[in-house]
Amino acid sequence: MLFEWVKKVKQEIPEFAAFIDFITVTGLRFEEGLNAYNLVVELTRSGRLDEYYNAEQHILEHFRFKNLFLRKTKKAFMSYAPKELIKEIGSKDSPLTKDMIIKRIQRLRLKQRFADLREFYASYSTKCLRQPEIDFVQGRISATVFMRNYFNPTWITDLKDRALKNAGELLNL
């Protein structure tokens, strides 16, 4: 079961706990999640986290880093994340690498379940978010649709409240 996998990884490799929580509450793909996690670490260390994380709205603004998050077919525009989790990630001394994560999990003789976490996020989020909102948060829309139809601060406030409620529930599972 997925929860057993999460618990085992967090117990056996505690330095990955914040990353696992981050992937769980944002629904990001593994590589996007890794890029976002490392960007939080890097920008916190340089005192520039506000260039990426809008603390008032609890939004990671991926669209500001197009080269990392807006690829041809895979996109992530923004993610909602609790301040406490971002603060915890920002306190880390060094970034994580893809190989580091994959190899440490393989040593535990466990499968990589990051795609399952993304799928679980989408399924679970139906409790708080509508399908178009889940598609938006998970980057399954085009950039032009995003700018034309979704980037509305009034709408985002309502979405923020429900997305953060969803994140809190996911962290407490």
Please report the domains of the chain, with CATH numbers, ordered by start residue: 2-171 (1.10.443.10)
Over residues 141-165, mean pLDDT: 68
Nearest-angstrom CA–CA distance, 133 and 171: 20
CA geometry: angle at 123 spanning 131 and 18, to 5°?
115
Write down the H helix ranges in the chain. Answer: 2-12, 17-26, 30-45, 66-69, 83-90, 98-107, 114-124, 131-137, 143-145, 153-171
Q: How confident is the model at residue 142 (pLDDT cuts 50, 70, 90)?
A: low
pLDDT of residue 71: 80
Q: Bridge-partner residues for 79, per DSSP? A: 60
Helix (H, G, I), strand (E, B) or coil at 71: coil
Q: Give me the helix-helix angle, 17-26 and 2-12, nearest 10°.
A: 150
Model pLDDT for residues 50-104, shown as the tens digit of each residue: 999 999 989 999 989 989 988 877 888 889 999 999 999 999 999 999 999 999 9
Q: How confident is the model at residue 152 (pLDDT cuts 50, 70, 90)?
A: low
Helix (H, G, I), strand (E, B) or coil at 67: helix
Nearest-angstrom CA–CA distance, 26 and 60: 10
Residue 151 has pLDDT above 90, yes or no: no
Residue 132 has pLDDT above 90, yes or no: no
Q: Give me the helix-helix angle, 2-12 and 114-124, nearest 10°.
A: 130
Dihedral sign from CA coordinates of 126, 127, 130, 135: negative
